[in-house]
Amino acid sequence: MGEAEKKQDLNDEKIHGRTSKKNQGLSALEPPPPGQWQLLYWPAFNSEGKLCAGAGRGEYLRVLFEEAGVPYEEVNAHLSDYFWTKLELQPEHFPVLAPPAIRKDNFALSQTPVCAKYLATQFGLYPEDPLDAAKAEQTVYTVHEYIAEGVAAYHPVKASMSYVDQKEEAKPYIEAFKRERVRLIN
């Protein structure tokens, strides 16, 4: 690994607020085994085995794989390279822009709600009735909109910066979120 790659690894650790698992687990730089589903997302647990921010949006996709009983592999090494610097490794003519993403053979897809709908359809979990399907989609998009608003409240300075490093700046945004949005679900 060259000096630039080492520097990027350290930067990734600072940006994503987690211990690097660059050499632990499967690498996004390697193609998936034939016919094998993969979930590309930050590790759900850090090197000490503690839950970290990685459970987030990838968890919705994990639940679909588990519920359907479909085997999949977690890929959490070299994600920055795959998504942002080595685009030639992605399927031709349709790049995926950020984790979480799913891939199988020469197919890859990102954006959690899109991936969730695709997997649910593939695994027979998506409603066939158009009205039920519309209600399911409404629920999915509402959940993801709500999450985005919550993340913005806890990360008002910069989304990729740790909450701990912007805790003071976040206080008024968190209070506004609780006052204006959380009350709607209580």
pTM: 0.74
pLDDT band of residue 161 (cuts 50, 70, 90) is confident
Whole-number percent of the chain with pLDDT over 70: 80
pLDDT of residue 79: 92
Tens-digit pLDDT profile for residues 29-65: 999 999 999 999 987 666 676 666 556 788 899 999 9
pLDDT in tens, 111-144: 999 999 999 999 999 999 999 999 999 998 888 8
Cα angle value 158/159/162 (rounded, 5°): 85
CA distance 41 to 68: 19
Where do we find the tokens 């592999």?
73
* 18-30 confidence digits (pLDDT tens): 333 333 579 999 9
SS3 content of the chain, % helix, strand, coil (to 5): 50, 10, 35
Please state, in angstroms and as integers, the Cα–Cα distance from residue 82 to each residue in 89, 90, 132, 157, 174, following that order.
Answer: 7, 7, 36, 26, 33
Average pLDDT of the chain, as a whole number: 82
The mean per-residue pLDDT over the stretch 69-85 comes to: 92
